[in-house]
Structure 1
Amino acid sequence: MSRYQGIYASLIEQYIDFKRNLGYKFKDAESVYYLFDQFTILNGETEIGITKELANKWAVKRPNESDSTCYKRVMYLIQFSSFLNDSGYPSYILRLPKAYKSTFTPYIFSREEMKAIFEASDRLKIDNSMDSAVNVIPAILRMLYGTGIRIGEAVSLKVKDVNLTEKYIIIRQSKNGMERMIPFSDSLADVCRQYRNSLQVLQDPEDYFFVKRNGRRCNPKGIYEWFRKVLWEAGISHGGKRQGPRLHDLRHAFSVHSLTAMAESGLDLYYSLPILSEYLGHQSLEATEKYVRLTSEMYPGLIHDVNSICAYAFPEVDLP
């Protein structure tokens, strides 16, 4: 049974299927269209075709709604209205509001902080709970920093996706729905082997790579809770909820430190962009370019101050 109940139910489903066939995961949009579906029911809509009145009513910013959320709601309605017009249902197309630009600045861990994080994770004691993820922490934190993958991508890795011999992982469930292969360093491979050797469970290729002591899959929330403990042990202060440092900031640190390492090797930062973009799974270079600004403007010292901590980042590659 469809989750959509309004007059646009079948058309919403058609549009979502169309976008997903193009490779988009479209999870956020699906939630927005569910709200729009309920909105049309509450407003008593009986005829297909979005009117100017209905569109303007939808675009009104709601109490306690952020600018970014309102922007996305309007954007998704504009896209759906265009789809309706192309499908033969005349619909009003709103003007997109001024693009919301976040002022958020990610926390970039220094090389000393990354070293402290790794050392603190290695000092964690295995507790008596078989449902604990403490055994995973040293390896998964290095995986996040050493490859720049997202925590959701890390916990979704299967045994078959991690090749410790040829040293690469395959990301099959990415944010943008794109499959990609990521090589990693010898040092990261060694840590992952140590983790795998510590497991006392038999696994098939289809089982998850990062599992608790009882063999069950890890979840991002549990990993984040352990990450907070590691930060405390490493002497890195946390600003509180929504302040960070966040687990996702390991991805930002990977990006800045990797650009720094490539710059130190003599590679121009903008020539480095396609390499980093491929690692991160971005759909455009524009999404990656912010790391050039972070590296060259916010943290210029990193350009000239790299040591062995970056061994966890890019593996050595012999260029032709």
Structure 2
Amino acid sequence: MYAEFYHLKKLDDFFIQEGITEISFSRDQAIKWRQRLEGETEKTQYYRVNTTKRFFEYLFIQGFPVFQLRDTKCPKTDFIPHIYTDEEIEKYFLALDNYVSVQNRRHNIQLSVLFRIMFCCGTRMTETITIHKKDIDLDEGIIKLSETKNSKERYVVMSSSLLDLMRSFADKTFYDLSDDDYIFRSLYRRHISASIIAEIHHKVLQHADIPNCGSGRYGKRVHDWRHTFAVRSFKQLIDSGMDMYVALPIMSAYLGHNNIYSTERYLRLTISLYPYLTEKLEKSLDEIFEKNDYEKN
């Protein structure tokens, strides 16, 4: 939310600089706004333009004369996410289950469920912390993700062990919730903040004695659980004999990507970690994919 506020404040400053006093936005002004600002990184430019683009789309729908911005390409990165090993997974969740929060006593029963959803279902952190009570189907073992990136609702399936854990969690907490309430709540009956989850994540890594370096600017990220899920899932699908042309669109839809090129990154990472899988592919990935435009997923 703060990032969106920051980008919209920059847009407001641009309006003042350009002397724009009416609700309009010309093509020349759009071209100028799309250019990189002084001291701005390519990544910040990407988020600034694409965040404010949604604002201009809203104004256009309302009938105002505003020129529509084109998307900017997400800058390429050589960043390699951390993929947790079996040993690290065991140590992490043992430490998590024994973690005692002094901030909010609800954390002591929420965290084990929250982090296991991210690991077992491959959900993004923001998708997970915004799950509503009405989104949980305890009979079928399905979670509906309604507040998602790209506004693409989708469903994820819980394993039998995760479903048992969710049912136990529901018995302890759901009686106090309305259907529209978030299941992972803060003290103020909102959802737990992403910053709190990130802070707890780094504490758990420390308690688990897992080195917290070499992956991301501030160490191993919560988002690395999603990468770990994707890599392990691709490996399982290919090991089972599923054709990659079948596995790729399945994983792309399940992860909530806009297209298979967003999912390609996970597949390449899987192949690099498990080179023997290349023998199961008839063609190299470079032959299959003709472009390398990635987005943060």
Q: Could you tell me the TM-score, scaled by structure 2's length? A: 0.75
Matched, 1:235 2:199: no
Unmatched runs of 5 consecutive residues or more in structure 2: 279-297
Aligned to 1:134: 108
The question of 1:115 aligning with 2:78 is answered no
1:273 alignment counterpart: 248
Q: Any idea what the Cα deviations from partners look like across 1:244-295, whole Å, max 9, x if unmatched? A: 2111111111111111111121113332112211221111111111111000
Other-structure match for 1:209: 183
d(CA) in 1 for partners of 2:188, 2:72: 50
Tell me which residue corresponds to 1:169.
143
TM-aligned CA distance change 1:109 to 1:302, over 3 Å: farther
| Letter aligned with residue 193 of structure 2 | N
**Corresponding residue of 2:123:** 149
Q: Are the counterparts in 2 of residues 107 and 244 from structure 1 also a CA contact under 8 Å?
A: no
* CA distance in 1 between partners of 2:30 and 2:150 (Å): 28
Q: 1:97 to 1:158 in 2, by over 3 A?
A: closer
Contact 1:231 1:237 in 2 (8 A): yes
Q: Give the partner amino acid of 2:87.
A: E
For the residue of structure 1 that corresponds to 2:219, the secondary structure is coil
**Match among 172, 178, 181 for residue 152 of structure 2:** 178
The letter for the 1-side match of 2:118 is L
Partner of 1:224: 198
For residues 277 and 158 of structure 2, what CA distance do their matches in structure 1 show? 22
- Taking the aligned partners of 2:260 and 2:68, their CA distance within structure 1 comes to 33
Which residue identity is paired with 2:89? M
Alpha-carbon distance change, 91 to 191 in structure 1, aligned in 2, over 3 angstroms? closer
Q: How many residues align?
A: 271
User: So what's the TM-score if we normalise by structure 1?
Assistant: 0.70
Shift of 1:218: 2.1
Rg bigger for which structure? 1
Unpaired segments of 5 or more residues in structure 1?
Answer: 1-26, 305-320
Q: What is the SS of the residue equivalent to 1:149?
A: coil
2:268 to 279, 282, 293: 293
Q: Distance in 1 between matches of 2:108 and 2:251?
A: 30
Identical pairs, percent: 31
Once the two structures are TM-superposed, the CA of residue 163 in structure 1 deviates from its matched residue by: 1.5
Task: Provide the C-alpha distance between the structure 2 equivalents of 1:49 and 1:215, rounded to a whole number of angstroms.
Answer: 40
CA-atom RMSD, angstroms? 3.8
SS in 2 for 1:191: helix
